[in-house]
Structure 1
Amino acid sequence: MTASLSRAQIASRLDITDPFLMIDTFEEIEPGRRARATLALAPDAWFFGCHLPASQVMPATLQIEGMLQTLVLLIYAAQDHGVNRSYVTSVNVQLAAAGTPGQTVTFEAELSAFRRGIATGEVAAAAGGRTLSRGSFRYASPHLMAMPTGPATPPPPSTP
């Protein structure tokens, strides 16, 4: 299944706005399986002027943020979250290269598991035919977590 979201729709679903929104387009999704999003690195992007301005590279933390945003959109497509949110609980990322002005970063996310409100997935970021970074992430959706079952109140004490 292919679906696309505009930048405004992405911002609304994630409840994130500029300058921290790290996805321009959400291009393709197979709910519960995989998704692809992109970010065009405009030469005048705010971070190029303040992060290693002589080198002009996208900060690694913003690569990670784009990866996280792509995966959470996939999670939200797998299970309707309404106004509830998921929160990242684990990040394991390997950085390989930097994004530079004029490139388009493609984020490819794959959902590994989603059970009882806990989602795990992998995301790779690539630009110019090379991998920039890849990582494994875990999200928690507290409103979907299974609650313990049993009596709501303790049983009355037994009488001898």
Structure 2
Amino acid sequence: MNHLDINQIKDIIPHRHPFLLIDYIEDYVPGEYAVGYKCVSYREEFFAGHFPQEPVMPGVLTIEALAQTGAVAILSLPENKGKTAYFGGIDKCRFRGKIVPGDKVRLETKIIKTKGPVGIGEAVASVDGKVVVRAELTFMIG
């Protein structure tokens, strides 16, 4: 298993606080997949407005966390060092549950297709073994 801490993640992808949405990578294979985690705290800035009476992590931020996890996989390839992975599209996206303070979100993105600077990843977010988000993410390396 290839583990990455937060500083090693920051060496691979350009995201920084408050928009770096993964806390650590449990395992990855460059160009193939990455499995990471987001430990959701009540102190997350978005909970102040989403929603004050019932804090829920915004679905679009879960998609972003999955994209960042995939970016670790694709940008850890030597030929992509120092580059950025941009969103090209989101397909087949389904939200199946809520993410709330105290959740430890498992983020898994598997690269299923690449052609030149464009690729597609299958992404799944889960909490306690239950899938909360599933999507197909298209990225472009710039």
Q: Secondary structure at the match of 1:124?
A: strand
Paired with 1:85 and 1:44, the residues of 2 have a C-alpha distance of 28
Q: Secondary structure at the match of 2:68?
A: helix
Please tell me the residue identity of whatever aligns with 1:101: P
Q: CA deviation at 1:124?
A: 0.1
Q: For the structure 1 residues 31 and 11, does the alpha-carbon distance in structure 2 shift closer, same or farther, using more than 3 Å as the test?
A: closer
More strand by proportion, 1 or 2? 2
Residue equivalent to 1:133: 133
Q: Equivalent residue of 1:71, what SS?
A: helix
Task: Letter of the 2:14 partner, please give it.
Answer: D
- Confirm or deny that 1:107 pairs with 2:107: yes
- Deviation of residue 136 (structure 1)? 0.4
- Residue 5 of structure 2 corresponds to 6
- CA drift of 1:27 comes to 1.1
Which runs of 5 or more structure 2 residues have no equivalent in the other structure? none
What stretches of structure 1 of length at least 5 have no aligned partner? Answer: 143-160
Deviation, structure 1 residue 81: 1.3
Partner of 1:35: 34
Instruction: Say if 2:56 is the partner of 1:57.
Output: yes
Q: How far did 1:40 drift?
A: 0.3
Per the alignment, residue 154 of structure 1 pairs with none
Residues of 1 paired with 2:13 and 2:82: CA distance? Answer: 10
> 8 Å contact 2:32–2:74 — kept in the other structure?
no
Normalising by structure 2, we get a TM-score of 0.91
Match of 2:122 in 1: 122
Q: Distance in 2 between matches of 1:65 and 1:107?
A: 10
When the two chains are superposed, the root-mean-square deviation of aligned CA atoms in Å is 1.5
After TM superposition, where is structure 1 displaced by more than 6 Å over at least 4 residues in a row?
Answer: none
Distance in 2 (alpha carbons) for counterparts of 1:6 and 1:98: 26
Instruction: Find the structure with the greater CA-based Rg.
Output: 1
Q: Which moved more, 1:62-71 or 1:47-56?
A: 47-56
TM-score by length of 1: 0.81
Which residue is equivalent to 1:152? none
Partner Cα distance (1:8, 1:113) in 2: 28
Q: 1:21-41, CA deviations, whole angstroms, 9 ceiling, x for partnerless residues?
A: 110001101223221000001
Other-structure match for 1:26: 25
Equivalent in the alignment of 1:76:
75
The number of residues matched between the two structures is: 141
The one of the two structures with greater contact order (alpha-carbon pairs below 8 A, sep at least 6) is 2
